[in-house]
Amino acid sequence: MAAAGSGFQNRTFPDQPHAAALGRPACTTMSLAVIHSRALDGLAAAAVTVEVHLANGLPSFTLVGLADTEVKEARERVRSALHHSGFEFPLNKRITVSLAPADLPKESGRFDLPIAMGILAASEQVDARRLEGHEFAGELSLAGVLRPVRGALAMAWAVRQGARRSAGSGAEPGTGPQAASEGTAPRTLVLPAASAREAAHIRGVRVLAADDLLQVALAFQSPAGSSRPGTAAALGPGAAAGALTRPLAPPPEPRAPAAAGEEGLPPPTAPDLADVRGHALAKRALEIAAAGGHSLLLSGPPGTGKSMLARRLPGLLPPLDDDEAMETAAVSSLSRDWSLEQWARRPFRSPHHSASAVALVGGGNPPRPGEISLAHHGVLFLDELPEFSRSALESLREPLETGRVSIARASRRAEFPARFQLVAALNPCPCGHRGNPLQACRCSPEAVARYQARISGPLLERIDLLVEVPMQAARQFATAPAADDRREASATVARRVAAARALAVSAQGRPNAALEAHETLARAAPTAAAQALLDAAASRLGWSARSLHRVWRVARSIADLEQAAAPGGGLARRPVDAQHLAEAIQYRRG
């Protein structure tokens, strides 16, 4: 059997005593081609080896390797695509296609192109040696046209991560424990044109785009051309040289958020914080949440601006770095919910309150990412929080702590990243007017208690900032803003947030909200007064250890913001003082 990466072998066995004893022919010719591809397995995009074997015998086309219905249907698509592209289909051969590893489920039509290339290589219609170092994926139409596949970004991300692991192990390309699955690192991806435009956003991975099967096959024929009759021979031996496009260029570097009208920079895409009148406390909480990556709960009567505030949080967050942008786009590509315009933008997801637990955390067969994974490195906004089902809300508890979600099924298990920033909004009671000075509440105490009990204590404990958004007088919005109204724009706040986030990342490698419990106190470096204040508050309010750690993290973010706003703040982090801790305790009490 050919080794992975060998591409093609043609074997002849002239001396077979056992075959002669059985009265069978002593000489048998086998042709075996090995093509590399990938199957979607969460974000991993596991490597798949497509082995195509042609042998004498009754004509048949067998496909093995835990293939789903869509993959098995590739037999008819590949047969028709080869015929319409002018290639010969080995009708007089017994064709066996194995998708390894055999215990990994394979789905969708992404294996059409590697199966077709395997048949061409095994039948010597393309040069199998030139296929080495490439991975193929693409669905074929009956006419041989390549159609885009889901998860192209995830495939390129997996190739990049495999190359990093190989480089980190110190092994030579194509050697070591990763060689059998990853081969030479990194391989070149050959994809349909639309999928290639997505995959090219992953830096460090070479991508080639093609429109149809003929274009791919011509590029991998021997320089002397093909001896078969048809289109390729008519085009001549030089046709293969430029059959594939050049590697697609990576996108431009993501730029920092800029104020509208700033020379040389585009206006911000997120709504501006300057549009919000009043609500100084809520705006301050929004800034702290952006600086430290903290979760936020906004409570208040209907129409106070809770949703308006939440939708302005993405405009305050720092731009995604290269790794974050690539990982976020790779996750989004798994659900076909990504476009080129979203590159390097913080995701903002706002599912309806009728969403199920599966819609939020992910699921299905095969497993697909849910809203919390699609909001990775971005914001998940849950409006009307008590209206979500209890099971949906409780499913958020573990991902809020770990930043990952694991979806287990009887036959497989998939893991997706879920480092999202939760922002939730709710009314204080069923009618919404409890505590509203402008309108009386109609709810009984029992109705209010039942309504608030829809959100469990363990979930509330995982939310860092609890803020009330009060009702404001209508006359405040009836007139145009005064000339001396000094409401800050999102770009101004974003600069402070970026500076505070840079302090945290330079000191500990991640935002304050992502700190582990054992390092929270060490990073806070509190003064004696701050420690005494927290001890007294925790004893009086009956906080758990989780609540204590979350208060320290919020206080650390407040101290970083103060240092970032001060002239000449420097990079040496200042300790958390009592005033920082007092503000953090205020947000914890709600």
Q: Is residue 257 part of a domain?
A: no
Phi, psi of 361 (to 5 degrees): -95, -15
Same domain for 211 and 69, yes or no, is yes
Residue 574 lies in a domain: yes
Q: Are 343 and 328 spatial neighbours (Cβ–Cβ below 8 Å)?
A: no
Q: Is omega for the bond preceding 445 within 30 degrees of 0, making it cis? A: no
pLDDT of 477 reads 66
pLDDT band at 404 (very low <50, low <70, confident <90, very high): very high
Alpha-carbon separation of residue 33 from 6, 160, 214, 329 (angstroms) = 8, 25, 19, 33
User: Which tokens go with 386?
Assistant: 């008590």
Q: Is the pLDDT of residue 444 over 50?
A: yes
Which has the closest alpha carbon to 423: 511, 297, 317?
297
> Residue 455 and residue 458: Cα distance in Å, rounded?
9
User: Which amino acid is located at 573 in the chain?
Assistant: R
Q: What is the pLDDT of residue 399?
A: 94
Q: What is the mean pLDDT of residues 178-182?
A: 41
How far is Cα 127 from Cα 54, in angstroms, rounded to an integer? 16
Please tell me the predicted confidence (pLDDT) of residue 398: 93
Q: 63 and 185 share a domain?
A: yes
Domain stop point among 418, 446, 472? 472
Mean pLDDT of 166-193: 58
Q: For position 336, what pLDDT does the model report?
A: 72
- Which amino acid does the sequence have at 271? P
Domain assignment of residue 12, yes or no? no
Q: Where is average pLDDT lowest: 202-211, 501-510, 564-573?
A: 564-573
332 and 305 in one domain? yes
Q: Report the run of H or E that residue 214 belongs to, with start and end.
A: helix 213-219
Per-residue pLDDT tens over the stretch 309-333: 999 999 999 988 888 888 888 888 8
Q: Which residue has the higher pLDDT, 20 or 122?
A: 122
**CB 188: neighbour CB atoms within 10 A?**
16
pLDDT at 365: 78
Q: Has residue 356 got a pLDDT over 50?
A: yes
Domain boundary among 472, 506, 534: 472
Shared domain for 286 and 416, answered yes or no, is yes
As a whole number of angstroms, the distance between CA 136 and CA 143 comes to 18
Please tell me the predicted confidence (pLDDT) of residue 588: 84
Q: Beta-carbon neighbour count of residue 288 at 10 Å?
A: 26
Which one is predicted more confidently, 471 or 479?
471
Q: How big is the CA angle at 523 (ends 557 and 462), to the nearest 5 degrees?
A: 55
CA nearest to 282, candidates 301, 303, 268, 299 = 299
219 falls within a domain: yes
HEC string of 302-338? CCCCHHHHHCCCHHHCCCCCHHHHHHHHHHHHCCCCC
Classify residue 21: in a domain, yes or no. Answer: no
DSSP string, 131-168: GTTEEE--EEPTTSBEE--TTHHHHHHHHHHHHHHHHH
* Residue 465 and residue 495 in one domain: no
Whether residue 410 contacts residue 302, with contact meaning beta carbons closer than 8 Å, is answered with no
Q: Does pLDDT of 335 surpass 90? A: no
Same domain, 462 and 525: no
> Phi and psi for 423 in degrees, rounded to 5?
-125, 125
| Residue 116 pLDDT | 96
Closest CA to 7 of 44, 38, 41, 50: 50
Looking at the domain assignment, is residue 316 inside a domain?
yes
Higher-pLDDT residue of 429 and 180 is 429
- What per-residue confidence (pLDDT) applies to 239? 34
CB 142 within 8 A of CB 30: no
Specify the pLDDT at position 181: 43
pTM: 0.79
- In 352-486, where do the E strands start and end? 362-363, 368-369, 379-382, 404-408, 413-417, 421-426, 465-468
Mean pLDDT of 506-525: 87
CB-CB contact of 187 with 135 (8 Å): yes
- Six-digit token pair at 502? 């840079």
Among residues 36, 48, 233, which one has the least CA distance to residue 117?
A: 36
pLDDT score at 355? 95
Mean pLDDT for 92-102 is 94
- The 10s digit of each residue's pLDDT in 484-504 is 456 788 999 999 999 999 999
Please state, rounded to an integer, the average pLDDT across all residues of the chain: 82
How much is the average pLDDT of 348-366?
A: 91
Statement to judge: residues 34 and 162 lie in one domain: yes
The domain that contains 411 carries what CATH number? 3.40.50.300
State the angle between helix axes of 517-524 and 545-565 in degrees (0 to 180), rounded to the nearest 10. Answer: 40
> Per-residue pLDDT tens for 56-96?
989 999 999 989 888 999 999 999 999 999 999 999 999 99
12-21, 202-211, 230-239, 354-363: the lowest-pLDDT one: 230-239
| Higher pLDDT among residues 425 and 40, named by residue | 425
- The mean pLDDT value for 343-347 works out to 85
What pLDDT is attached to residue 168?
A: 60
What's residue 232's pLDDT? 37
Span 457-476, pLDDT tens digits: 999 999 999 999 998 876 66
Q: Is residue 265 in a domain?
A: no
| Final residue before a domain boundary, out of 214, 242, 270 | 242
Note the pLDDT tens digit of each residue in 208-229: 999 999 999 998 987 655 444 3
User: pLDDT tens digits for 365-395?
Assistant: 778 899 999 999 999 999 999 999 999 999 9
pLDDT of residue 292 exceeding 90, the answer is: yes
Same structural domain, 428 and 284: yes
- pLDDT, residue 5, reads 40
Distance CA 181, CA 165 (A): 12
Burial bucket for residue 174 (CB in 10 Å: 0-12, 13-18, 19+): middle
The residue with greater pLDDT, 236 or 565, is 565
The parent domain of residue 149 ranges over 29-242
Alpha-carbon torsion, ordered 140, 146, 149, 153, to 10 deg:
150
Decide if pLDDT at 188 tops 60.
yes
Q: Are residues 565 and 440 in the same domain?
A: no
As for how many domains the chain has, the answer is 3
147 within domain boundaries:
yes
227 and 367 both lie in a single domain: no
Same domain? For 538 and 576 the reply is: yes
Separation of alpha carbons 578 and 555, rounded Å: 9
**Contacts of residue 357, Cβ cutoff 8 Å, sequence gap at least 6:** 389, 391, 392, 394, 395
Q: What is the CATH number of the domain that holds 40?
A: 3.30.230.10
Give residue 79's pLDDT: 95
- Between the alpha carbon of residue 163 and those of residues 86, 114, 195, 334, the distances in Å are 36, 21, 21, 21
Say if residue 152 is in the same domain as residue 289: no
Q: How confident is the model at residue 41 (pLDDT cuts 50, 70, 90)?
A: confident
For 372: left if phi > 0, alpha if psi spans -120 to 50, otherwise beta; the answer is alpha
